[in-house]
C-alpha cells in the first residue's frame, strides 16, 4: 500500500565548499564565539588562504570591528635551525610579545589554524631547537599565562598541508591525501552535519554532564590501569574538571579546541607514582617520538625512554625542573569520533581526542579553584613549567578508578568507557 504521507527525504550530502564554509563558521561562532563588536586575531599557515578568507568573512558577518591575520610559513623554521648563526637563536624581539599582550588588553579573541609537517624538524640539531624553544617560551610566558588563564577567548583548528596529509595517508597521491584529511577533519569537527552548531551544542552539553559528575566526587587521586600502564595520579587540592565549552574571564563561552572530546584537570605535582607507556606516537618540535615509557616517583619522572626520538624526549624533560612533572590528566572515551576514524593524525589537536592522556609541564590555572589568583594554583600543588606537552596513554582496555582520601574507590571508566 502506498503511503499518502511519504517519508521526508534525507538532506543531500554537503559538498566540499559547503563543509569548508561550515568549518570556518564553527571556528568563529563555536570556537572563539566572536561577539558583535568583537576583535579577532587569526594565525594561519600560508596554505590556508581560502579557509582564512572564509573565517574573516564569518568574523565580519558576526559583527567584528577588527580582524587581523598573520600568515606563517613552516619551512622558515627549518631554515633558521639549519642556517641561522648561534646569536639568532637567542634573539627574541620584544614587539612580538608586546603585540599579543596589547591585543589581549584590547579584548581580541585569538584563533589559530594549525597545519604543519610532523617531520619538519627531523634530523635538525636538537640542542639548537631546545635552546630556541626555551628562549621563545621565556619571552612569551607573560602573554601565554594570560591566555591559559582564559583572560580572553581563544580556539585552535587545523587544515591539511600536503606534507602532513602524506604522513597520514602515505599510499595516496598528494591531492587525494589532502582530500581524505579534509574529510576526516570535517567529520570529527562536525562540519559535515546539516546543522553543525546544534551538533556542537549537544556535544558540549554532554561533556558538561561529565564534568559536573567528576567535580561532585572530589577524588584525591585517579588510578589508571591497562595492559601497558599502572599509574596513580594524585589530584591538586581544590582541582576542577574542565572540558568542552569554557567561559573566559571576559564572559564569552567558546570551545578552545575543535575537535574536543576530553575532560581534564590538574594533577598534584608531588603525588604521581607508577609507570605509563604511550598508546600513540607523539609529534612535537617537528619530530616524532614513539613508544614513550616513563616511571614516576613522588610526582617526578625518574625514568624515560623511547624507541624513536629519545633525544627529543630528553630535551623536553630538560627544559626546567617542572618539565619532569605532570600538568594535566585528561580522560577520553576510547571510541570518540577521532578514535573512530582509525587514523593517527600526527597532530596533538586530534590525537589527544582519541585517547586519555597526560601532559608534562605547566598546569592550567583554571583547573584549580580560584587558581587565577596569584600563587593559588601552585599552593594547591599545580605544576609550573615552560612547556606543556600532551601525550596519549589511553587504550580500549583502560580502567580508571577515582580514589578518595580515605582510600575508598569507585569506578570512573571501564574498558575505556564512562562507567557512571
Q: How far apart are CA 130 and CA 134, in angstroms?
A: 6
On the question of pLDDT at 6 being above 60, the answer is: no
3-state secondary structure 192-245: CCCCHHHHHHHHHHHHHHHHHHHHHHCCCEEEEECCCCEEEEEECCCECCECCC
| CA-to-CA separations, 124 to 92, 117, 121, 168, in angstroms, rounded | 20, 14, 5, 22
Sequence-distant (6+) residues with CB within 8 A of 54 are 20, 21, 24, 25
Report the pLDDT value the prediction gives residue 10, as an integer from 0 to 100.
Answer: 58
> What are 15-61's pLDDT values in tens digits?
999 999 999 999 999 999 999 999 999 999 999 999 999 999 999 99
217: its cell numbers = 566526587
| CA-to-CA separations, 13 to 17, 24, 100, 193, 276, in angstroms, rounded | 12, 18, 40, 9, 43
On the question of pLDDT at 220 being above 70, the answer is: yes
Mean pLDDT for the stretch of residues 67-87? 95
Q: How far apart are CA 237 and CA 147, in angstroms?
A: 23
Mean pLDDT for the stretch of residues 100-112? 96
CB 341 within 8 A of CB 353: no
Report the pLDDT value the prediction gives residue 285, as an integer from 0 to 100.
Answer: 85
pTM of the model: 0.90
> What are 335-374's pLDDT values in tens digits?
999 999 999 999 999 999 999 999 999 999 999 999 988 8
Q: Please report, for the chain, the start and end positions of each structural domain, with discontinuous segments joined by +.
A: 16-188, 209-243+260-418
Residues present in the chain in total: 420
Beta bridge partners of 246: 254
Sequence-distant (6+) residues with CB within 8 A of 15 are none
| CA-to-CA separations, 108 to 61, 91, 147, in angstroms, rounded | 16, 27, 11
Report the pLDDT value the prediction gives residue 304, as an integer from 0 to 100.
Answer: 98
Report the pLDDT value the prediction gives residue 11, as an integer from 0 to 100.
Answer: 63
| CA-to-CA separations, 123 to 78, 119, 287, in angstroms, rounded | 10, 9, 8
Place of cell 598528494: 174
What is the band of 248 on the pLDDT scale with cuts at 50, 70, 90?
Answer: very high
CATH of 16-188 among 3.40.50.2030, 2.60.120.460, 3.40.1830.10, 3.50.40.10: 3.40.1830.10
Amino acid at each position: 500500500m502506498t503511503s499518502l504521507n511519504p517519508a521526508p527525504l534525507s538532506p543531500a550530502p554537503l559538498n566540499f565548499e559547503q563543509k569548508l564554509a561550515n568549518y570556518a563558521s564553527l571556528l568563529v561562532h563555536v570556537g572563539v564565539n566572536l561577539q558583535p563588536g568583537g576583535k579577532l586575531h587569526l594565525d594561519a599557515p600560508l596554505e590556508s588562504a581560502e579557509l582564512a578568507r572564509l573565517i574573516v568573512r564569518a568574523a565580519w558577518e558576526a559583527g567584528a570591528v577588527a580582524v587581523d591575520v598573520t600568515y606563517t610559513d613552516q619551512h622558515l623554521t627549518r631554515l633558521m635551525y639549519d642556517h641561522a648563526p648561534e646569536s639568532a637563536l637567542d634573539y627574541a624581539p620584544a614587539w612580538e610579545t608586546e603585540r599579543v599582550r596589547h591585543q589581549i588588553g584590547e579584548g581580541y579573541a585569538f584563533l589559530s589554524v594549525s597545519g604543519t609537517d610532523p617531520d619538519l624538524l627531523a634530523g635538525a640539531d636538537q640542542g639548537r631547537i631546545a635552546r630556541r624553544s626555551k628562549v621563545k617560551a621565556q619571552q612569551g610566558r607573560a602573554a601565554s599565562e594570560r591566555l591559559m588563564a582564559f583572560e580572553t577567548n581563544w580556539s585552535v583548528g587545523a587544515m591539511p598541508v600536503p606534507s602532513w596529509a602524506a604522513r597520514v595517508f602515505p599510499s595516496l597521491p598528494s591531492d587525494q591525501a589532502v582530500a581524505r584529511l579534509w574529510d576526516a577533519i570535517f567529520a570529527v569537527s562536525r562540519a559535515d552535519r546539516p546543522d553543525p552548531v546544534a551538533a556542537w551544542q549537544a556535544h558540549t552539553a554532554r561533556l558538561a554532564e561529565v564534568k559536573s559528575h567528576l567535580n561532585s566526587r572530589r577524588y584525591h587521586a585517579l588510578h589508571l590501569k591497562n595492559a601497558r600502564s599502572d599509574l596513580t595520579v594524585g589530584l591538586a587540592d581544590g582541582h576542577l574538571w574542565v572540558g568542552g565549552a569554557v567561559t573566559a574571564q571576559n564572559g564569552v563561552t567558546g570551545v578552545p579546541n575543535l575537535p574536543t572530546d576530553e575532560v581534564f584537570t590538574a594533577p598534584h605535582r608531588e603525588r604521581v607514582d607508577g609507570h605509563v607507556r604511550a598508546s600513540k606516537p607523539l609529534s612535537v618540535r617537528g619530530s616524532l617520538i614513539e613508544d614513550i615509557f616513563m616511571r614516576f616517583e613522588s610526582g617526578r619522572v625518574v625514568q624515560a625512554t623511547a624507541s624513536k626520538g629519545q633525544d627529543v624526549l630528553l630535551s623536553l624533560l630538560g627544559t626546567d625542573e617542572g618539565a619532569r612533572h605532570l600538568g594535566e590528566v585528561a580522560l577520553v572515551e576510547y571510541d570518540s569520533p577521532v578514535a573512530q576514524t582509525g587514523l593517527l593524525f600526527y597532530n596533538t589537536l586530534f590525537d589527544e581526542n582519541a585517547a586519555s592522556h597526560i601532559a608534562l609541564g605547566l598546569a592550567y590555572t583554571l583547573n584549580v579553584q580560584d587558581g587565577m589568583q596569584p600563587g593559588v594554583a601552585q599552593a594547591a600543588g599545580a605544576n609550573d613549567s615552560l612547556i606543556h606537552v600532551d601525550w596519549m596513554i589511553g587504550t580500549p582496555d583502560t580502567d580508571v578508578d577515582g580514589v578518595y582520601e580515605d582510600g575508598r574507590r569507585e569506578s570512573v571508566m571501564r574498558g575505556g568507557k564512562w562507567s557512571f
